[in-house]
């Protein structure tokens, strides 16, 4: 018997704090039009001193466990490009915080912002082998560039958790995928750095090449035609990038690229990313959440998803919302996750940005700033200590 495979439930979390781009513009003298219109960002999520990729991941995944239990979860795949340890998978901390069964495999995946899509595809492979199992896929990242660098305006942080199952209640994921890899140095972060290095223009060009490359492979693999798609969800390092990407895809297919058509197609996918900022691996799935939460009905209508990870690896694939998917969304909670954040000023942001944990093994207690369910209480003897409220 063949099953539909896909995303059964999806939930996200972001940070305690938010910095409006007006505050950044006031600080560095930039015309706010560049941020609001030029890159398409209103604000960005800023982690509190006691938040990190683990606390966001656990917060994102907790509602899925509350709704569906954890009995059938035998695999947790944690995708991140802002990992906290070179050896231990961040998902092991999440496994512990969520009290998941010990009969579970937990692993971390990395390929810049693309990692969560690899995790999703690997999860589908596991479910195909045993459709009774559930796989918990988590994408969690803090996007951080140097203060006063061009990348600073495209920071942010969030986690998305997805329960991948057979006969999903939300979305069926379809074959084929269009794939593309190219060895480029557009964005990277050597192990000794906290902040990413980026060649801004090169990264935009590399992204657009990947749009073209994945689409070419997708059509060669026998995927849908352009007109079959009702919506397109792109990785959004800043929301304007999705507009650039869609224009590029339409141009590549010799289609009209008038502003209105592109705005209609892309607008609904940007409402969460616009106020959260770049969340790296989570970004394309926040776009998907925004689309599902704010579009009247997409039942059985193909959505094109484009996942891009600098360096670079990209994938284009289709997903269709399943009948009744509306009853399984977390729309109200999602809105609250965004509106509950406390607005901070530039000096407070800068202090958090420059804040680092000790690297000499000394005991450090983090100030209690987050009001979320999980917090990083401190670090002792090089070990992170987490707390549940
Ligand atoms: N009013 C309206 N628009 C304005 C404006 C104003 N007053 N002033 C400038 N603009 C427009 C510019 O015309 C430009 O628009 P177009 O690209 O459509 O021409 C836009 O605002 C940005 O201006 P600049 O190109 O001058 O901005 P910048 O040099 O400061 O850099 C950036 C912008 C390259 C995105 C930079 O923020 C950056 O390096 N960010 C990090 C890298 C990144 O996000 N790359 C995206 C692809 S890589 C990827 O996707 C992986 C990932 O997650 C990192």
How far, in Å, from the CA of 285 to the mean position of ligand 1?
Answer: 22
Structure-token match 């972060």, residue found:
189
Write the residue with the smallest CA distance to atom 29 of ligand 1: 150
Span 22-74, pLDDT tens digits: 999 999 999 999 999 999 999 999 999 999 999 999 999 999 999 999 999 99
Q: How far is CA 90 from CA 76, 139, 350, in A?
A: 10, 11, 26
| Digit-coded pLDDT (tens) for 167-211 | 999 999 999 999 999 999 999 999 999 999 999 999 999 999 999
Identify whether 235 is a catalytic site residue: yes
Query: Can you tell me which atom of ligand 1 is nearest the CA of 153?
Result: 37
Token pair of 335, please?
Answer: 């809105």
Kindly give the distance from the C-alpha atom of residue 38 to the centroid of ligand 1, in angstroms, as a whole number. Answer: 7
∠116-89-126 over CA atoms, to 5°? 50
Does ligand 1 come within 6 angstroms of the Cβ of 176?
Answer: no
Q: Does residue 109 contact residue 79 with C-beta atoms inside 8 Å?
A: yes
68 is catalytic: no
Contact 248, 284 (CB under 8 A): no
Task: Report which ligand 1 atom has the smallest distance to the Cα of 308.
Answer: 50
Catalytic residue among 8, 21, 51, 81: 81
User: Which one has a higher pLDDT value, 256 or 249?
Assistant: 249
- Is the pLDDT score of 131 beyond 60? yes
C-alpha 361: how far from chain center = 31
Is the backbone of residue 272 left (phi > 0), alpha (psi -120 to 50) or beta? alpha
> 244 C-alpha to center of ligand 1: Å?
11
Both tokens of residue 188? 């990277």
User: Is the predicted pLDDT of residue 2 greater than 90, yes or no?
Assistant: no
Hey, whose CA ends up nearest to atom 39 of ligand 1? 200
Give me the catalytic one of 113, 134, 152, 328: 113
Q: Rounded mean pLDDT of the chain? A: 97
CA-based nearest residue to 169, from 100, 68, 74: 68
What are the pLDDT digits (tens) for 366-383?
999 999 999 999 999 999
The pLDDT-based confidence of 267 (bands split at 50, 70, 90) is very high
306 ligand 1 Cβ < 6 A: no
Structure confidence at residue 3 as a pLDDT band (50, 70, 90): confident
| pLDDT band at residue 1 under the 50/70/90 scheme | low
pLDDT value at residue 13:
98
What is the rounded distance in angstroms from the CA atom of residue 68 to the CA atom of residue 9? 9
pTM over 0.95: yes
CB of 278 shorter than 6 A to ligand 1 = yes
Q: Minimum mean pLDDT among 42-46, 138-142, 263-267, 382-386: which range?
A: 263-267
Domains of the chain listed by start with CATH number: 5-388 (3.40.47.10)
pLDDT of the residue at 118: 98
Candidates 95, 235, 248, 328; catalytic one: 235
Among this protein's residues, is 233 annotated catalytic?
Answer: no
**89 Cα–ligand 1 center, Å:** 33
Helix (H, G, I), strand (E, B) or coil at 230: coil
pLDDT at 57: 98
């Amino acid at each position: 018997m063949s099953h539909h495979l896909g995303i059964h439930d999806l939930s996200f979390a972001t940070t305690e704090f938010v910095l409006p781009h007006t505050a950044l513009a006031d600080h560095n003298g930039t015309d706010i039009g560049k941020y609001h219109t030029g890159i398409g960002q209103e604000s960005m999520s800023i982690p509190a001193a006691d938040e990190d990729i683990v606390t966001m991941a656990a917060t994102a995944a907790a509602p899925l466990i509350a709704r569906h239990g954890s009995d059938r979860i035998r695999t947790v795949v944690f995708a991140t490009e802002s990992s906290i340890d070179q050896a231990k998978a961040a998902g092991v901390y999440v496994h512990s915080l969520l009290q998941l069964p010990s009969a579970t495999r937990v692993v971390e995946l990395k390929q810049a912002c693309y990692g969560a899509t690899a995790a999703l595809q690997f999860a589908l492979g596991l479910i195909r082998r045993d459709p009774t199992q559930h796989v918990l896929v988590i994408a969690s990242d803090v996007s951080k560039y140097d203060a006063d660098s061009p990348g600073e305006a495209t920071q942010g942080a969030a986690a998305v958790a997805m329960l991948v199952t057979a006969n999903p209640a939300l979305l069926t994921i379809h074959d084929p995928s269009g794939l593309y890899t190219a060895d480029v140095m557009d964005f990277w972060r050597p192990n000794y750095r906290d902040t990413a290095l980026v060649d801004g223009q090169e990264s935009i060009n590399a992204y657009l090449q990947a749009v073209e490359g994945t689409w070419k492979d997708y059509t060669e693999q026998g995927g849908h035609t352009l007109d079959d798609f009702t919506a397109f969800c792109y990785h959004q390092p800043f929301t304007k990038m999705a507009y650039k990407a869609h224009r590029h895809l339409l141009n590549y297919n010799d289609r009209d690229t008038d502003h209105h058509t592109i705005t209609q197609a892309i607008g609904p996918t940007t409402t969460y990313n616009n106020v959260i900022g770049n969340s790296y691996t989570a970004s394309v799935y926040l776009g998907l959440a925004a689309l599902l939460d704010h579009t009247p009905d997409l039942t059985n209508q193909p959505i094109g998803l484009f996942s891009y990870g600098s360096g670079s690896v990209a994938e284009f694939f289709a997903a269709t919302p399943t009948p009744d998917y509306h009853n399984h969304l977390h729309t109200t909670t999602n809105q609250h996750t965004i509106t509950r954040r406390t607005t901070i000023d530039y000096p407070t942001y800068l202090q958090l940005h420059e804040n680092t944990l000790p690297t000499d093994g000394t005991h450090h207690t983090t100030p209690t700033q987050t009001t979320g369910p999980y917090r990083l209480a401190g670090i002792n003897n090089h070990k992170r200590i987490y707390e549940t409220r």
